[in-house]
Chain A
């Protein structure tokens, strides 16, 4: 059975095709048969899929209209059924659009568009509509209010299961509080067993769509979950649709394209319908196609002039009744032209004969008819291909190892020569040539007790194939190729074989590292966030971009393995985690290098972390039709790994810093116990006054020490940096009297208090002093920023 996925790629026509085939069976039966592909195989999953389709649809509608999405999702219990309500603030829909969008299975322009979009992910909202109708018997209830209209429209939509035609059964005017948007209500058989999956799905959607505001309510919630829009999040950039890249199409798609194109020639078709194909590239594709379709003509070394097979004489003999002189001139011209060449193929001999014949015709009044020319060609070609074994011997000997027995090479060459003995044009495809070589080699192995291994055969093939000439045939017309699957397949191979520059990447709209981080930040209460966006890359003919994000610490669950969130084109992937390339990559990374716990040194790491990976592509390679897991495409895995590592490096440096801060804290705690005891003991032993050890402590902790000295009217604030790196200190001294003359500091008065702001950089082991004077009594309040709390001792 052809895979469903490849058929999806075949474009718009599939809808009709499917619908057509459905007339034989009912649409309900079709649905029943295919529901596992459509994501409705269990009641629990059906609800998740319906939510997913409806939310994707809503997000797309808003984005296409340039509106920041505001989506409301609600699940209600409704007797034996569940009712799903999804509202958006999109542009609304008209009565005419409604049946197409919600009612027609596989309607829409998304499947064949070379553009990053959500629609690749599922089969569309129509499947949910159909499922609800089939299970509850209720119509889909749609409320829509296009922008600028005072009233909303209410439709009820039913799909005629016999004809697969949607029908509007109710159409009335209503009121709706949203200024514009669409609301759809679906009732269906369902259950809430996948409740946590649903919630995760909504949350994940919010993470990966930071520009959207989403609200979610279901019977198990006390109050609805609200996922607010990230502050800096704008609509994703609009994507450019691109033509397909020759490396990214499959045979079915190619056939459809061949059928649909207006182009007549293969060259025109290639340049019109594909991205990155110009005249030169088209020629290369055609040359490769011809090699497959027509094969190459073997080209042989012309015999030496003094050898038995004399071309000139053979041609002379073959030409009758043209007069001795003319015949001799003609034969000499053919012979000379052939001898001018190192090797000559049949079609070249033809060209030479034609050219000589035309010259002869021009010189005299003789005509060289087709028969004469044919005879001349046959004679010349016969002479050229008279002694192939020596020619082949040289070719074979050149590419086989020195150790090969001379007799064996001789044997192989003469057996190969025999294959060409039957006359003819010596035209063959690479596969046919390989067949000749294999048979000749097998025979030689058998009879001459020699060995010709795979490498030797491949080398001989390569030498002979290179010696052969591409034939100057025109490729078949596009319409003929479209009718012939095999020829189309040859064209596809030729396209794949040809070097073609990578497709443009403006068809992609990544979330951006900044917004990935923002998305994580708003949905996870963590201590640390990092994100990365890779540059665009290509697999097959499809460009893709991988983004990764990591959140760590805070309120994240610290027991068990970290959460790996997977996304494709901004849609969360919910099922088949274990089959996904993303998961494989996460497992393969040595997380211990990034300071995450990873028992056994491989597998999903442990700890309070979330790792998210987003793959944006015009064609995300999924493992199966249900589109839950990204396939193990090496180019994509590499990019996923690099994206994750980029974010993980930030995590590592954060964790290192955190660890060193923790060590510092531990050291401080320990010293904070030891040193006061030491001081007390010293006071006791030496019988002295009580000791103040703050300054010593600050120095010991490698701390930044802020001290104040007040001497008459002069105030000195000293910042002593006992650390071994520079300290950028932002100090604010709030003084209750007006300070005079401050060095390098600014003073702002506010409600009778003066804010002395000073931002020195204090080198390692250095001290900076702020000095100012205050007349009369003053109180001081100092605050210091820019230094971690653990590293700061304020004694002022």
Chain B
């Protein structure tokens, strides 16, 4: 099968990378050394902005897990067990979810190798991604929650366990749209009539746009983000931009947390900074809700909470938001001390968003 020829080298490569990692530990033991695993420190303070790529990547600081301490030894032990598991999984060309890995560790004979929390196993997988330079998806590990949905004039082919499927993201899908698979790299874009990508934060707004036929009318690919977007969603957005040359726009609530959603689509997030080049779309543009819109459209608002104010102030110091646009908007928001949700546009009628707001904004951005 053609799929085999596509995936086998990747799978084999991923497996070898993992085993190389194990071999490093083996060699350390064989040399009488203390096995250690060095990874970049994954905290906010060790995230630097890559000006060239316009994405966030890890800085120079490393933390070392050493078998010298019980906790370090346990981490490495868990890593070795996980490597063993992943390499078998790859060998058998199967996949599992992060949660399955967590439960599966219960079956390991050594208590010390078992995970105590799901976070622990999730983090370990990310550690392994970093040290082996292989993406989680290539380990055949997927998150529990499914990816978000796409609706719009796009024809694609997805490799599934049951063979390849050609899917048109308007004609072949229901009201819910096309479900993004865990590894969007299994998708091949065949054809499209889209003019741009519209990423929407909330499910309610996505449904409104679809119900109003916005995708059809404006040839938009409506991608539902569902809060902080999953890796698969961000990867797909990146591919839509890079491969189909589609402008990417992001439509969120008008509050500091939503700006961060935009930031993670656009510049990358802290936890997956090692994959920013692969996941982030620096060219993405922000539609709104802008603080300016709150004033202009007289939207119903809530006052800013203290945590909102703090978040806005820290965004002012965040290099991701150090542009004229963001500085102006954030200062305005602090000034008016108000925030508004996407749905607040409904105060002007259900069609206001599709007939007035979005066309006006997209027009301003030169996309219509």
Q: Which residues of A contact B (CB under 8 A)?
A: 667, 670-671, 673-675, 677-679, 681-686, 688, 691-696, 699-700
Contact = CB atoms under 8 A, between A and B. Distances in A.
What 5 pairs between A and B have smallest CB-CB spacing? A695-B32, A685-B22, A682-B26, A686-B23, A674-B73
Nearest to A720: B32
Contacts of A691: 26, 29-30
Interface in B292-313: none
Interface stretch (B80-88, B149-157, B194-202): B80-88
B67 A675 contact: yes
A696 B35 contact: yes
B29 A677 contact: no
Interface of B: 19, 22-23, 25-26, 28-30, 32-35, 67-68, 70, 73-74, 76-77, 80-81, 83-84, 87, 110, 112-113
A685 B80 contact: yes
Contacts of B81: 681
Contact of B84 (A670, A684, A694, A695): A684
Contacts of A693: 29
A722 to B, nearest CB: 9
Given A673-B112, A678-B67, A678-B73, A686 B35 contact: no
Contact of A699 (B32, B76, B87): B32
A671 B32 contact: no
Nearest to A695: B32
A427 to B, nearest CB: 84
Q: Tell me whether chain A's interface is mostly helix, strand or loop, or mixed.
A: helix
Contacts of A696: 28-29, 32-35, 67
A671 B33 contact: no
A689 to B, nearest CB: 9
A686 B19 contact: yes
Contacts of A684: 84
5 contacts: A674-B74, A682-B29, A685-B87, A695-B32, A696-B28
A673 B77 CA distance: 11
A129 to B, nearest CB: 69
A662 to B, nearest CB: 14
Nearest to A698: B32
B29 to A, nearest CB: 5
Given A679-B29, A685-B84, A700 B68 contact: yes
Contact of B73 (A671, A685, A695, A699): A671
Contacts of B34: 696, 699-700
A673 B109 CA distance: 12
The winner among A667, A686, A694 for most chain B CB atoms within 10 A is A686
Given A670-B70, A688-B26, A678 B77 contact: yes
Given A684-B84, A700-B67, A700-B68, A674 B22 contact: no
Contacts, number: 77
Nearest to A684: B84
B19 A685 contact: yes
A375 B126 CA distance: 117
A667 B67 CA distance: 11
A693 B23 CA distance: 15
A679 B28 CA distance: 10
A678 B76 contact: yes
A348 to B, nearest CB: 86
B178 to A, nearest CB: 39
B22 A677 contact: no
B68 to A, nearest CB: 5
A767 to B, nearest CB: 12
A671 B67 contact: yes
Contacts of A683: 26
A691 B25 CA distance: 11
The winner among A679, A692, A694 for most chain B CB atoms within 10 A is A679
Contacts of B84: 681, 684-685
Contact of B33 (A667, A673, A699): A699
A669 to B, nearest CB: 10
A794 B359 CA distance: 79
A682 B80 CA distance: 7
A677 B35 CA distance: 13
The winner among A670, A677, A685, A699 for most chain B CB atoms within 10 A is A685
B348 to A, nearest CB: 62
A793 to B, nearest CB: 11
B70 A678 contact: no
A675 B30 CA distance: 13
Contact of A678 (B19, B30, B33, B35): B35
A685 B35 contact: no
Contacts of A700: 34, 67-68, 73
Contacts of A673: 110, 112
A670 B74 CA distance: 10
Nearest to A691: B29
The winner among B22, B29, B30, B80 for most chain A CB atoms within 10 A is B29
Given A671-B70, A673-B112, A700-B67, A678 B80 contact: yes
Contact of A677 (B68, B70, B110): B110
A685 B83 contact: yes
B236 to A, nearest CB: 33
The winner among B28, B32, B70, B113 for most chain A CB atoms within 10 A is B32
Contacts of B22: 682, 685-686
A683 B67 CA distance: 17
A678 B22 CA distance: 10
A587 to B, nearest CB: 39
B58 to A, nearest CB: 27
Contacts of B110: 673-674, 677
B15 to A, nearest CB: 10
Contact of A686 (B26, B67, B113): B26
A682 B23 CA distance: 7
Given A682-B29, A692-B30, 5 more contacts: A671-B70, A673-B112, A675-B73, A682-B26, A685-B19
B96 to A, nearest CB: 18
Contacts of B19: 685-686
A133 to B, nearest CB: 73
A693 B112 CA distance: 18
A696 B28 CA distance: 8
A473 B76 CA distance: 96
A681 B80 contact: yes
A416 B32 CA distance: 98
Nearest to B25: A682
Given A671-B70, A685-B19, A678 B32 contact: no
Contacts of A681: 77, 80-81, 84
Contacts of A670: 70, 73, 112
Contacts of B30: 691-692
A678 B29 CA distance: 10
Nearest to A667: B70
The winner among B19, B22, B110, B112 for most chain A CB atoms within 10 A is B22
A674 B112 contact: yes
Contacts of B77: 674, 677-678, 681
Contacts of B32: 694-696, 699
Nearest to A707: B32
A626 B70 CA distance: 60
A674 B29 CA distance: 13
A681 B19 CA distance: 12
Nearest to B113: A677
A681 B108 CA distance: 12
Nearest to B32: A695
A696 B112 CA distance: 19
A676 to B, nearest CB: 10
Contacts of B112: 670, 673-674, 677
The winner among A670, A678, A686, A699 for most chain B CB atoms within 10 A is A678
B25 A678 contact: yes
Nearest to A681: B80
Contacts of A679: 26, 29
A45 B87 CA distance: 81
Contacts of B83: 685
B122 to A, nearest CB: 21
A545 B240 CA distance: 91
